[in-house]
């Protein structure tokens, strides 16, 4: 009974976040990564570096940063940024969700934007509340840029609960490099959300969405690359480039 009541209260709180445009600067660290194939979400972690999922390695990439409170299609031309280099994690392969992380070095530093902190330490945050942020596209106009920026509460779930949370036959050799989070363990919504939504937990970037069977921006469970496991790699790439 206590567990049911707890999830009910969390679901009620989550409803306050869902389906609302962001009207403050809290998510201005988000980057919209546009390509000819599919858009992705990125996160500004340094004045010249964006982190995203490795499966977002796409041709003709455009990077837009800084106005998460507006529709992406309304962004000004001078907010499109060029990039110098892209670094996918060397152990990432297209047939596995493991090591699904990538760094993008911008051609110029952006000093007026909000950065998000990287996690300190590698401890799991089981049962902690995280904020999942990204964009949803309008079903009526699927070929347009995403037009609704949403933040949704989610609970970091224990590993045992993650095992039965996906219907996909996906083999993960080391689940320590990933975690799952969501508000509604037995729910699967449908939406056209931008790939690689981010999970901010306790004010730090802890997760980058690798895959989901539903819609994480509506509270469904998603599987995230655990950023804390890649801090050494991130800092090494930034230092050398």
Residue 119 per-residue DSSP state: P
Give the separation between CA 51 and CA 119, rounded to whole angstroms. 13
The string of pLDDT tens digits covering residues 202-239 is 999 999 999 998 899 999 999 999 999 999 999 999 99
Of residues 141 and 122, more confidently modeled: 122
Is residue 206 within 8 A of residue 125, CB to CB? The reply is yes
Specify the 3-state DSSP secondary structure of 2: helix
pLDDT of residue 23: 38
pLDDT of residue 207: 98
Phi, psi for residue 15 in degrees, rounded to 5 = -60, -25
Q: What's the pLDDT band for 13 if we cut at 50, 70, 90?
A: very low
Which among 197, 192, 194, 204 has a CA at the least distance from the CA of 221? Answer: 197
pLDDT of residue 87: 97
Phi, psi for residue 189 in degrees, rounded to 5 = -90, 170
Of residues 175 and 53, more confidently modeled: 53
pLDDT of residue 67: 54
Which among 127, 32, 110 has a CA at the least distance from the CA of 71? Answer: 32
**Residue 143 confidence (pLDDT) above 60:** no
Q: What's the pLDDT band for 106 if we cut at 50, 70, 90?
A: very high
Phi, psi for residue 214 in degrees, rounded to 5 = -130, -130
Q: Domain map of the chain by residue range? A: 30-240
The string of pLDDT tens digits covering residues 120-133 is 887 788 889 999 99
Of residues 89 and 137, more confidently modeled: 89
Tokens (6 digits) for 140: 């009526």
| Range 12-17 average pLDDT | 38
Task: Provide the annotated active-site residues.
Answer: 55, 100, 195
Of residues 62 and 140, more confidently modeled: 62
- CB neighbour list of residue 55: distance below 8 Å, 6 or more residues apart: 94, 100, 195, 196, 210
pLDDT of residue 15: 38
Which among 226, 84, 224, 90 has a CA at the least distance from the CA of 154? Answer: 224
pLDDT of residue 175: 78
Phi, psi for residue 141 in degrees, rounded to 5 = -130, 70
Backbone region of residue 3 per phi and psi (left: phi > 0; alpha: psi in -120 to 50; beta: other values): alpha
Of residues 92 and 23, more confidently modeled: 92
Strand order in the sheet with 102-106: 80-81, 62-65, 30-34, 40-46, 49-52, 102-106, 83-88
Give the separation between CA 8 and CA 155, rounded to whole angstroms. 13
| Range 76-86 average pLDDT | 75
- CB neighbour list of residue 11: distance below 8 Å, 6 or more residues apart: 183, 184, 219
Give the separation between CA 30 and CA 41, rounded to whole angstroms. 7
Q: What is 30-240's CATH topology? A: Thrombin, subunit H (2.40.10)
| Range 61-83 average pLDDT | 65
């Amino acid at each position: 009974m206590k567990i049911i009541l707890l999830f009910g209260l969390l679901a009620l709180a989550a409803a306050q976040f869902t389906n609302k445009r962001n009207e403050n600067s809290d998510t201005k660290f988000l980057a919209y990564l546009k390509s000819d194939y599919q858009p992705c979400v990125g996160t500004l972690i340094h004045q010249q570096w964006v982190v995203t999922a490795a499966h977002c390695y796409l041709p003709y990439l455009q990077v837009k940063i800084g106005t998460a409170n507006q529709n992406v299609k309304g962004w000004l031309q001078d907010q499109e940024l060029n990039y110098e280099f892209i670094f996918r994690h060397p152990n990432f392969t297209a047939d596995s969700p493991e090591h699904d992380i990538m760094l993008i070095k911008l051609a110029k530093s952006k000093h007026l934007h909000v950065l998000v902190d990287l996690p300190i330490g590698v401890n799991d945050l089981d049962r902690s509340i995280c904020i999942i942020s990204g964009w949803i596209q309008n079903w009526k106009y699927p070929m347009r840029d995403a037009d609704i920026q949403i933040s949704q509460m989610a609970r970091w779930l224990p590993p045992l609960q993650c095992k039965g949370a996906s219907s996909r036959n996906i083999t993960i050799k080391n689940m320590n490099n990933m975690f799952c989070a969501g508000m509604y363990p037995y729910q699967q919504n449908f939406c056209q959300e931008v790939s690689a939504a981010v999970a901010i937990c306790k004010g730090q970037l802890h997760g980058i969405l690798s895959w989901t069977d539903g819609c994480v921006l509506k509270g469904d469970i998603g599987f995230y690359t655990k950023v804390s496991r890649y801090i050494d790699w991130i800092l090494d790439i930034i230092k050398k480039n």
